């Protein structure tokens, strides 16, 4: 059979966790907007960089969760 890239069971099992992480990504969008405004107000533009990086990680969370579940469950 070789490499099996189709894992529908893993996708279905990961959906509830992806939904929860989708809510976290919406929070990440709000944090990103606030961080963008703060970085525009700050003259050094460096003190809020960690806030923007955290927000981007939260936004990417649903995709990372689904990929993790798909890779976790074998064919």
Report yes or no on 30 lying in a domain.
yes
Q: Where are the alpha helices (DSSP H) in the chain?
A: 8-41, 49-59, 61-72
CA distance 31 to 50: 11
Total number of domains in the chain: 1
Give tens-digit pLDDT for 7-50: 666 677 777 877 887 787 788 888 888 877 877 777 676 667 77
CA distance 45 to 61: 25
Report yes or no on 1 lying in a domain.
no
The answer to whether 18 and 46 are in contact (CB under 8 A) is no
Q: Which pTM does this prediction carry?
A: 0.60
Report yes or no on 7 lying in a domain.
no
Report yes or no on 37 lying in a domain.
yes
Report yes or no on 5 lying in a domain.
no
The interaxial angle of helices 49-59 and 61-72, nearest 10 deg, is 50
57 versus 74: the higher-pLDDT residue is: 57
Q: Which domain range does residue 61 map to?
A: 17-72
Q: Which residues contact 29 (CB under 8 A, 6 or more apart)?
A: 55, 59
């Amino acid at each position: 059979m070789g490499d099996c890239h189709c894992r529908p069971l893993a996708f279905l099992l990961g959906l509830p966790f992806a939904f929860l992480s989708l809510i976290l990504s919406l929070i990440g969008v709000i944090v990103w907007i606030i961080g963008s405004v703060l970085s525009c107000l700050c003259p050094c533009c460096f003190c809020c960089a960690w806030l923007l990086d955290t927000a981007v990680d939260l936004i990417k969370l649903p995709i990372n969760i689904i990929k993790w579940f798909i890779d976790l469950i074998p064919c």
